[in-house]
């Protein structure tokens, strides 16, 4: 008998907490919960528990703590670094928040919404919309990702430029600790300087310090005006200069500034149904500019035209189109959001989620391209992303006709090259996706010993039994 596996009677005790009809035990039922989207990790587990309340989550963690049973919290299972996937050992139980999907309260006067950890992001957006408010977090996976996961990974997305990451969108949390105790930090306050910042410690901890069961989220007035433009530019240098113009001209009204290369337009036009090149001629690079104004719709119109005129005068914009209908706006954003899917038919893709200081993006792009092409001649670099945040999804499609497996076998080697350039520029190897399993060992390698030591001390202080999503983010030495 394998001692690392939970015994049947222990599984029954866990099941009794939530009721047998809220448990998955069957291998076929469990299978989709053991893999993540990119197929990088495949874990094992005997049981998935679906608690219906914070108290049930607390009872699960209390029993886990008493019996030393590792627990992996899971929400939408859309994470990209294996943080939500149980380990291969089979000893981990999965705690799914899918039944805890309620919106507990919406207050449009105070501009707050209280959601459970299992609430789907799109449902939160809709609940805000219903009271004429905006919840700005927006991701490709918003139809299936859930608030607890968004918070645990400090999710970013396309509206970070104006509204910030998930950390900036959250006022308070309810967390079940590894011991089963409940921390009620569901505060609705914009200002509260009363002791250590527990909230921001749980946000971004990827479920290794506790289970986020509820959150107070910030709402915003819905913009009165909205305009989207798509412009061809010569280079990342020109795109950055245009971003400078846009920041000065639009301030907080600049809600998106996305960069993409010519090959991104080719990939999406070729591989995504309904996408076509919005401009008549080809350009080396493109930017998608999104402006939202609060006072009037006309301000957005004036602002975007003025920005493009200034960009053309300064020689930064080669050609541009402004969406003239909601359908056109959606089409431009659809092209941008399809960039990941558009790479799949092109063969293997080695991916990076990096950030550098905004001013260093052009130099990073140039240096990384040289190094990658020296290592893999013919590699097709599809580097795109949130220019305004310094966050580039540096994806590399295999050379045409190359062997996919042989190309993908060089994942770590190419990561090493790209991350080396990122780190030399003072950048981050994980701008928005997190650490999970994928970058855990690399994190320990690139960070100073004292920084890792502080993280270990926090992990031990919060999870002395080591049962809370073990093996993710940090591995205790």
Classify residue 234 by its DSSP letter: S
Tell me which of 19, 68, 143, 221 binds its own copies, using CB under 8 A. Answer: 221
Residue 302 CA, chain-centre distance (Å), reads 32
Tell me which of 430, 437, 469, 471 binds its own copies, using CB under 8 A. Answer: 430
Binding of residue 295 to its own copies (CB under 8 A): yes
**Residues found in the chain:** 477
Measured distance CA(458)–CA(210) in Å, rounded: 12
Binding of residue 214 to its own copies (CB under 8 A): no
Tell me which of 45, 69, 154, 349 binds its own copies, using CB under 8 A. Answer: 154
Tell me which of 113, 383, 435, 438 binds its own copies, using CB under 8 A. Answer: 435
Residue closer to its own copies, measured from CB, 248 or 370: 248
Residue closer to its own copies, measured from CB, 4 or 306: 306
Q: Total residues at the site for its own copies (CB under 8 A)?
A: 93
Binding of residue 156 to its own copies (CB under 8 A): yes
Region 384-413 residues binding its own copies, contact defined as CB under 8 A: 386, 389-391
Binding of residue 378 to its own copies (CB under 8 A): no
**Inter-residue contact 116 to 102 (CB < 8 Å):** yes
Region 100-119 residues binding its own copies, contact defined as CB under 8 A: 107, 109-112
Tell me which of 207, 427, 470, 471 binds its own copies, using CB under 8 A. Answer: 427
Residue 260: φ, ψ to 5°: -150, 150
Tell me which of 8, 32, 195, 280 binds its own copies, using CB under 8 A. Answer: 195
Closest contact distance (angstroms) between CB of 142 and its own copies is: 18
Stretch that binds its own copies, among 24-32, 37-45, 382-390, 396-404 (CB under 8 A): 382-390
Residue closer to its own copies, measured from CB, 404 or 460: 460
Q: Is 271 exposed, middle or buried (0-12, 13-18, 19+ CB in 10 A)?
A: middle
Tell me which of 54, 299, 395, 437 binds its own copies, using CB under 8 A. Answer: 299
Q: Which DSSP string do the residues of 428-475 spell out, in sequence order?
A: BSBSSS--TTTTHHHHHHHS-HHHHHHHHHHHHHH-TT--BSTTSS--
Give the β-pairing of 391-397 and 380-386.
Answer: antiparallel
Binding of residue 191 to its own copies (CB under 8 A): yes
Binding of residue 477 to its own copies (CB under 8 A): no
Binding of residue 58 to its own copies (CB under 8 A): no
Residue closer to its own copies, measured from CB, 316 or 376: 316
Tell me which of 1, 3, 273, 450 binds its own copies, using CB under 8 A. Answer: 450
Stretch that binds its own copies, among 25-33, 258-266, 330-338, 452-460 (CB under 8 A): 452-460
Measured distance CA(375)–CA(396) in Å, rounded: 12
Q: CB pairs under 8 A, 24+ apart, for 13-20? A: 13/63, 14/47, 14/49, 14/60, 14/63, 14/64, 14/69, 14/93, 15/47, 15/49, 17/49, 17/51, 17/56, 17/59, 17/60, 17/63, 18/49, 18/50, 18/51, 18/52, 18/56, 18/60
Tell me the chain's radius of gyration from C-alpha atoms. 23
């Amino acid at each position: 008998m394998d001692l690392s596996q939970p015994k049947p009677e222990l599984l029954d005790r866990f099941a009794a907490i939530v009721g047998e009809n809220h448990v998955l035990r069957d291998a076929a039922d469990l299978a989709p919960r053991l893999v993540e989207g990119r197929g990088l990790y495949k874990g094992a587990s005997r049981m998935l528990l679906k608690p219906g309340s914070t108290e049930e989550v607390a009872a699960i963690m209390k029993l886990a703590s008493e019996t030393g049973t590792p627990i992996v919290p899971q929400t939408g299972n859309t994470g990209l670094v294996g943080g939500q996937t149980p380990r291969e050992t089979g000893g981990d139980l999965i705690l799914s928040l899918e039944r805890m999907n309620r919106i507990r309260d919406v207050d449009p006067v105070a501009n707050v919404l209280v959601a459970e950890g299992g609430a789907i992001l799109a449902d939160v957006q809709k609940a805000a919309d219903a009271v004429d408010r905006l919840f700005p977090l927006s991701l490709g996976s918003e139809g299936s990702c859930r608030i607890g996961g968004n918070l645990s990974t400090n999710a970013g997305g396309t509206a970070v430029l104006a509204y910030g990451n998930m950390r900036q969108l959250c006022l308070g949390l309810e967390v079940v600790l590894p011991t089963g105790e409940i921390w009620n930090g569901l505060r609705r306050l914009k200002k509260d300087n009363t002791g250590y910042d527990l909230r921001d410690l749980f946000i971004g901890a990827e479920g290794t310090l506790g289970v986020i069961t509820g959150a107070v989220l910030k709402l915003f007035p819905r913009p009165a005006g909205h305009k989207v433009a798509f412009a061809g530019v010569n280079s990342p240098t020109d795109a950055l200069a245009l971003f400078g113009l846009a920041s000065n001209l639009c301030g907080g009204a600049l809600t998106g500034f996305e960069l993409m290369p010519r090959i991104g337009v080719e990939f999406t036009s070729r591989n995504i149904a309904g996408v076509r090149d919005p401009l008549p001629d080809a350009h080396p690079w493109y930017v998608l500019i999104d402006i939202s104004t609060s006072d009037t719709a006309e301000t957005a119109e004036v602002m975007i035209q003025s920005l493009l005129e200034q960009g053309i005068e300064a020689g930064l914009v080669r050609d541009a189109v402004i969406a003239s209908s909601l359908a056109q706006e959606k089409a431009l954003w659809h092209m941008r959001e399809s960039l990941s899917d558009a790479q799949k038919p092109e063969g293997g893709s080695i991916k990076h989620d990096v950030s550098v200081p905004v001013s260093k993006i052009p130099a990073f792009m140039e240096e990384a391209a040289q190094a990658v092409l020296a290592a893999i001649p013919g590699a097709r670099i599809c580097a795109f992303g949130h220019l305004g945040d310094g966050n580039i999804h540096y994806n590399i499609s295999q050379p045409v006709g190359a062997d996919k497996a042989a190309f993908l076998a060089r994942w770590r080697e190419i990561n090493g090259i790209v991350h080396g350039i990122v780190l030399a520029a003072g950048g981050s190897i994980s701008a928005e996706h997190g650490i999970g399993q994928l970058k855990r060992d690399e994190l320990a390698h690139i960070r100073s010993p004292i920084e890792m030591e502080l993280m270990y001390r926090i992990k031990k202080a919060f999870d002395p039994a080591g049962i809370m999503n073990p093996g993710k983010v940090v591995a205790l030495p």
